[in-house]
């Protein structure tokens, strides 16, 4: 009986990180191709996964505000990269799409 519990705990410990990794990748995979995709993948995944990003629908002004908000929270992003990401997100995730 104890052996079964030990095995269960072992297997859970083994698969939890894999499941978490996979889910982070799954959101990245939902980014459409385009100019800025690479920057978004590299610069917007450091603090959280992209679930909130790919599920958001925002106007260009709202995306700009969000990206500025991330900068204020400490995102290390150059202004030209931030502009590229804002344009990419505005085109990829506009309201009503």
Minimum CB distance to ligand HEC smaller for 8 or for 41:
41
Minimum CB distance to ligand HEC smaller for 10 or for 57:
57
> Which residues in 78-97 contact ligand HEC (CB under 6 A)?
85
Minimum CB separation of residue 32 from ligand HEC in Å reads 14
**44 lies in the binding site for ligand HEC (CB under 6 A):** yes
Q: Which two tokens stand for residue 54?
A: 């790919």
Distance of CA 85 to the CA centre of its chain: 12
Q: 44: how many CB neighbours lie within 10 A of its CB?
A: 22
Instruction: Tell which one of 25, 48, 60, 68 touches ligand HEC (CB under 6 A).
Output: 48
> Which residues in 50-79 contact ligand HEC (CB under 6 A)?
52-53, 56, 66-67, 69-70, 73-75, 77
69-75 long-range Cβ contacts below 8 angstroms, 24+ apart: 70/44, 73/47, 74/47, 75/43, 75/44, 75/46, 75/47
Q: Which two tokens stand for residue 91?
A: 């085109």
Instruction: Tell which one of 36, 43, 64, 93 touches ligand HEC (CB under 6 A).
Output: 43
């Amino acid at each position: 009986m104890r052996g079964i519990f030990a095995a269960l705990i072992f297997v859970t410990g083994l698969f939890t990180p894999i499941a978490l990794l996979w889910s982070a990748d799954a959101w990245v995979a939902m980014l459409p191709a385009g100019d800025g995709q690479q920057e978004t993948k590299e610069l917007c995944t450091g603090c959280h996964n992209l679930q909130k990003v790919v599920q958001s629908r925002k106007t260009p002004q709202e995306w700009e505000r969000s990206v500025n908000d991330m900068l204020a929270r400490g995102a290390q992003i150059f202004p030209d990269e931030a502009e590229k990401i804002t344009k990419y997100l505005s085109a990829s995730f506009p309201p009503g799409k």
